[in-house]
Chain A
């Protein structure tokens, strides 16, 4: 139950954060008032309106068109299939894992469990390749920090969307590492029941972290590509 509550709160917070970022960076009304309460009201109005608009546009066909328009399909074959398997396995892992964790008291079992384990192997393999071959594109090089009170001012920390995206990538990679480790260790004759319990919880929260990082990464990526197109 605790995991369900934390998951719902964390995922909702991530979603709201991303939408607030979008609102803040694209809407005139975000800067039309200096009172946060007023800005927040406008944000809610914008979010509601946008949700209604998107739900009206949403249809299987629209989703299919959106999927077909992804730049993924224009990549070289090897890279394309690497990403297809990676995204596909991650989506299945997240969907099966969270669905059973939240809605099924018994947890993951049966054929979905076999699928989960298989997808986990594919995901770990793909993530390894991506980190090895694409990780270099996400090396952040911040300037050296100086010891001053400015370190505590978020506005002077140099937080940009690009840097958040990079951080999300590595956070995702770190969560992937923890997921792999927490899946592997319980299969070895090393951990006792308490250790198994710890790994089980570790696996769940690593998965939550991975999903949040993925949301941030994909959210910012889609936002950026949308901006570029417009």
Chain B
């Protein structure tokens, strides 16, 4: 080939390459890169999603290859759905979203040991604290709340954030990208609990694959060294404990071209929403719980709470349209849908979307529509019996199932609390009382994270630990049908499988009964150390054998102040070189029969008095702290810093140490309840408040106005805030009493008015007739 020919071929090649590139760009543009491409072509079906899976390096996943990475939503879904736009949605911006006027449920950091219920929100809602301001990094936040997050946001931090916090383990865990399947997966394999477990195992980059049922994920990133990287591959030295996370794809769902079939819903099913947004009465049976009336009617959550690709869901509150600029939002408020009214009450909205019926509201005075929001009468539990304690998915860790019980009773979320919202209208709210340790400098309260409190408090917050250790040690030498217990007053403490202790009530015991270590066999509880005469010739030889076992077991307790001993009358039993020896007990110990520790020539009880007192006080109670503990911890915290005052907040009160070192309580704005509006579950019209007449609310004993709310918190105390329902509304209780009483006479009043109207009307009509008759000449004279 000549040089000219070669040049011609080369030129042709360049031209052809350019044409191919241009053609490729014209014929198959990337949807994500083409801003003009509409999100929807007009077809109302959901396209079948048989698509290639791509990993976080944008590499095609071949499920049969060795050690495939988990799929990445950014590169699997991103080519058609603009990932960055999705990422800006409400669900993915927990720490970064702009402030929204209407408060939502805050993230509640619950830490029972330190008595912490700390409301957190990056959206500046009243009563909440910015996670960053209290020292939580994106990593901390993800580990705390990632269980109920849909990926993205703090779980997918920027590179700057990762570099700023080298102590975080992002390089091990990877980032949890937006989990599209969390909402859009129609498959029954979608498992919210699996997501939560993967997050807790720090398997962040694997979590979506595991939860979506795309593949089976094993291993735990949390057990790996901080230096491990996903490219390091499996840990060849450890196949039992520090197993590197791996994924086995469900190959049956792939076709021959390695495309995976996603069974997706454009509008997520309610189950997907409810995994994180369920709210149910605490002690309600599942079979007795009713769904929202809209759901019962066949609507999906997403029918009203809809969104575009930006995932800024319509929240459905009045004023949202003006606040967000999304005019469609006005159609999806109660008023918009059912009455065709905008937030100002003007009929500017087309009513009846989704077949919403128009309410009659017969006989309801107009003031109710001006001063109350629709959910007051239609949503949440009925207020007749006062307040209802509920559990929410995010606060109480619901929807995570497994061998362990994940859900918690704490924090206590209360509803319905009727209070004025940002539009000065009364609406039902959920409420939680905050509880946390804080540093007060000037007037500013800055919460302290539980880890810092624990470090300062030492053993003060662990009264159960030593008792549990002792009981677990004793359990090792008891028969299978015997359980070591500690009996204190009416309570019996026994070890549990988690290494702690459970309290139960001792039938027939007295509250001021003696404290003793015992053994439960069936229903009987016998003292661990029976009373007998060690000097007696006919004593049971098995007793001393048992003592030896007990002492050997107690010898395994970590951190014991000295060797274990048993005192019976005037005899001291102890192990010397593994052999049981007896000696005469010190005269002072004669009354203190039982097991103990011998330290510095003194007989110490198996568990300190403080521990016994504390666990006995808390037995059977939901609270996790006593006033004594709080005082001690405040003292311990005070030693860590001299330039600030330390306080504890619980039950609507702020606790601090006064000048004499005593625990003092007072009201403080920081101790006030945190509330957020509720709108669901909507009850049927026949169960609306007011259905039975005005006296549903307007009566002297009305729960709506006069139910008393006693604050709750982790601190066992009588110093609690108490408020009436009307105080939340900003209404005078006396007036509502007087107004409620007026309804006793109202039926008579109505009859009297009707008689008056009838008589006056008849006479006016008659006078008119007379005048008309005379004018027409019908009557000549009166």
SS class of chain B's interface: helix, strand, loop or mixed? Answer: helix
Q: What per-residue 1/0 map shows which CB atoms of A81-114 lie under 8 Å from chain B?
A: 0000000000000000000000000110111001
Is the pair B764, A173 in contact by a Cβ cutoff of 8 Å? yes
A180–B770 Cα distance when bound, in Å, is 23
Is the pair A180, B753 in contact by a Cβ cutoff of 8 Å? yes
A15–B286 Cα distance when bound, in Å, is 70
A131–B765 Cα distance when bound, in Å, is 12
Indicate whether B621 reaches chain A with its CB closer than 8 angstroms.
no
Indicate whether A19 reaches chain B with its CB closer than 8 angstroms.
no
A177–B780 Cα distance when bound, in Å, is 29
Residue numbers in B under 8 Å from A197 (CB-CB): 366
* Total A residues in contact with B, Cβ cutoff 8 Å: 44
Q: Which of B742, B757, B776 lies in contact with A177, CB distance below 8 A?
A: B757
Indicate whether B768 reaches chain A with its CB closer than 8 angstroms.
yes
Indicate whether A56 reaches chain B with its CB closer than 8 angstroms.
no
Indicate whether A17 reaches chain B with its CB closer than 8 angstroms.
no
Is the pair A124, B763 in contact by a Cβ cutoff of 8 Å? no
11 contacts between A and B (CB under 8 A): A121-B752, A124-B756, A135-B767, A141-B771, A143-B774, A173-B764, A173-B767, A184-B753, A184-B757, A190-B362, A191-B363
Indicate whether B669 reaches chain A with its CB closer than 8 angstroms.
no
Q: Which residue of A lies closest to B781 (CB)?
A: A141
Q: Which residue of B lies closest to A197 (CB)?
A: B366
Residue numbers in B under 8 Å from A128 (CB-CB): 755-756, 759-760
* Total B residues in contact with A, Cβ cutoff 8 Å: 40
Indicate whether A170 reaches chain B with its CB closer than 8 angstroms.
yes
Known contacts A114-B738, A131-B760, A193-B369; A124/B782 CB under 8 A: no
A200–B360 Cα distance when bound, in Å, is 17
Indicate whether A228 reaches chain B with its CB closer than 8 angstroms.
no
Residue numbers in B under 8 Å from A177 (CB-CB): 757, 760-761, 764
Indicate whether B754 reaches chain A with its CB closer than 8 angstroms.
yes
Residue numbers in B under 8 Å from A188 (CB-CB): 363, 750
**B700-735 with Cβ < 8 A to chain A:** 732, 735
Indicate whether B266 reaches chain A with its CB closer than 8 angstroms.
no
A145–B760 Cα distance when bound, in Å, is 27
Indicate whether B775 reaches chain A with its CB closer than 8 angstroms.
yes
**A177-191 with Cβ < 8 A to chain B:** 177, 180-181, 183-184, 186-191
Q: Which residue of B lies closest to A167 (CB)?
A: B771
Residue numbers in B under 8 Å from A106 (CB-CB): 370
Indicate whether A76 reaches chain B with its CB closer than 8 angstroms.
no
B711 → chain A closest CB, angstroms: 28
Indicate whether A225 reaches chain B with its CB closer than 8 angstroms.
no
B81 → chain A closest CB, angstroms: 44
Q: What per-residue 1/0 map shows which CB atoms of A191-205 lie under 8 Å from chain B?
A: 111001100100000
A154 → chain B closest CB, angstroms: 16
Indicate whether A174 reaches chain B with its CB closer than 8 angstroms.
yes
Q: Which of A114, A121, A183, A186 lies in contact with B363, CB distance below 8 A?
A: A186
Residue numbers in A under 8 Å from B363 (CB-CB): 186-191
Is the pair B782, A176 in contact by a Cβ cutoff of 8 Å? no
Is the pair B760, A173 in contact by a Cβ cutoff of 8 Å? yes
- Chain B contact residues, CB within 8 Å of chain A: 360-367, 369-370, 732, 735, 738-739, 742, 746, 749-750, 752-757, 759-761, 763-764, 767-768, 770-771, 774-777, 780-782
Q: Which residue of A lies closest to B774 (CB)?
A: A141
Known contacts A135-B767, A139-B767; A187/B750 CB under 8 A: yes
Is the pair B759, A132 in contact by a Cβ cutoff of 8 Å? yes
Is the pair A125, B742 in contact by a Cβ cutoff of 8 Å? no
Known: A114-B739, A177-B764. 15 other contacts (CB 8 A): A110-B732, A110-B735, A111-B738, A131-B763, A132-B759, A135-B763, A135-B767, A139-B770, A142-B774, A144-B776, A170-B768, A173-B767, A180-B756, A191-B362, A192-B361
A138–B770 Cα distance when bound, in Å, is 12
A96–B761 Cα distance when bound, in Å, is 25
Closest 4 A-B residue pairs measured CB to CB? A144-B777, A189-B363, A124-B756, A180-B757
B690 → chain A closest CB, angstroms: 10
A127–B763 Cα distance when bound, in Å, is 11
Is the pair A193, B742 in contact by a Cβ cutoff of 8 Å? no
A164–B671 Cα distance when bound, in Å, is 68
Q: What per-residue 1/0 map shows which CB atoms of A145-171 lie under 8 Å from chain B?
A: 100000000000000000000000010
Q: Which of B746, B749, B763 lies in contact with A132, CB distance below 8 A?
A: B763
Q: Which residue of B lies closest to A111 (CB)?
A: B735
Is the pair B757, A139 in contact by a Cβ cutoff of 8 Å? no
Residue numbers in A under 8 Å from B763 (CB-CB): 131-132, 135, 173
Residue numbers in B under 8 Å from A196 (CB-CB): 364-366
A205–B780 Cα distance when bound, in Å, is 36
Residue numbers in B under 8 Å from A120 (CB-CB): 753
A224–B755 Cα distance when bound, in Å, is 34
A106–B760 Cα distance when bound, in Å, is 31
Q: Which residue of B lies closest to A169 (CB)?
A: B767
Is the pair A141, B764 in contact by a Cβ cutoff of 8 Å? no
Residue numbers in A under 8 Å from B782 (CB-CB): 139, 141
SS class of chain A's interface: helix, strand, loop or mixed? Answer: helix
Residue numbers in B under 8 Å from A124 (CB-CB): 752-753, 756-757, 760
Residue numbers in A under 8 Å from B360 (CB-CB): 192
Known contacts A114-B738, A173-B764; A193/B771 CB under 8 A: no
A189 → chain B closest CB, angstroms: 3
Indicate whether A72 reaches chain B with its CB closer than 8 angstroms.
no
Residue numbers in A under 8 Å from B760 (CB-CB): 124, 127-128, 131, 173, 176-177, 180
Q: Which residue of B lies closest to A189 (CB)?
A: B363
Q: Which residue of A lies closest to B731 (CB)?
A: A110
A200–B776 Cα distance when bound, in Å, is 36
Is the pair B774, A184 in contact by a Cβ cutoff of 8 Å? no
A189–B693 Cα distance when bound, in Å, is 9
A49–B742 Cα distance when bound, in Å, is 49
Known contacts A139-B770, A184-B754; A131/B759 CB under 8 A: yes
A186–B694 Cα distance when bound, in Å, is 12
Is the pair A145, B775 in contact by a Cβ cutoff of 8 Å? yes
Question: Which residue of B749, B770, B781 has the most chain A CB atoms within 10 A of its CB atom?
Answer: B749
Is the pair A192, B756 in contact by a Cβ cutoff of 8 Å? no
Q: Which of B370, B750, B764, B776 lies in contact with A170, CB distance below 8 A?
A: B764
A7–B768 Cα distance when bound, in Å, is 26
Question: Which residue of A107, A125, A192 has the most chain B CB atoms within 10 A of its CB atom?
Answer: A192
Indicate whether A140 reaches chain B with its CB closer than 8 angstroms.
yes
Q: Which of B364, B367, B742, B771 lies in contact with A142, CB distance below 8 A?
A: B771
A186–B760 Cα distance when bound, in Å, is 19
Q: Which residue of A lies closest to B732 (CB)?
A: A110
A215 → chain B closest CB, angstroms: 19
Indicate whether A117 reaches chain B with its CB closer than 8 angstroms.
yes
Residue numbers in A under 8 Å from B767 (CB-CB): 135, 138-139, 170, 173
Is the pair B759, A184 in contact by a Cβ cutoff of 8 Å? no
Residue numbers in A under 8 Å from B764 (CB-CB): 131, 170, 173-174, 177
A139 → chain B closest CB, angstroms: 6
Known contacts A111-B735, A139-B782, A174-B764; A193/B757 CB under 8 A: no
Residue numbers in A under 8 Å from B366 (CB-CB): 186, 193, 196-197, 200
A152 → chain B closest CB, angstroms: 15
Question: Which residue of A127, A141, A142, A188 has the most chain B CB atoms within 10 A of its CB atom?
Answer: A141
Is the pair B753, A183 in contact by a Cβ cutoff of 8 Å? yes
Is the pair A127, B756 in contact by a Cβ cutoff of 8 Å? yes
Residue numbers in B under 8 Å from A140 (CB-CB): 771
Residue numbers in B under 8 Å from A173 (CB-CB): 760, 763-764, 767
Residue numbers in A under 8 Å from B777 (CB-CB): 144-145
Residue numbers in B under 8 Å from A183 (CB-CB): 753
A127–B781 Cα distance when bound, in Å, is 27
Q: Which residue of B lies closest to A193 (CB)?
A: B361
Is the pair A109, B367 in contact by a Cβ cutoff of 8 Å? yes
A41 → chain B closest CB, angstroms: 38
A140–B757 Cα distance when bound, in Å, is 22
A48–B271 Cα distance when bound, in Å, is 78
Q: Which residue of A lies closest to B777 (CB)?
A: A144
Q: Which of A127, A176, A186, A190 lies in contact with B365, CB distance below 8 A?
A: A186
Residue numbers in A under 8 Å from B369 (CB-CB): 193
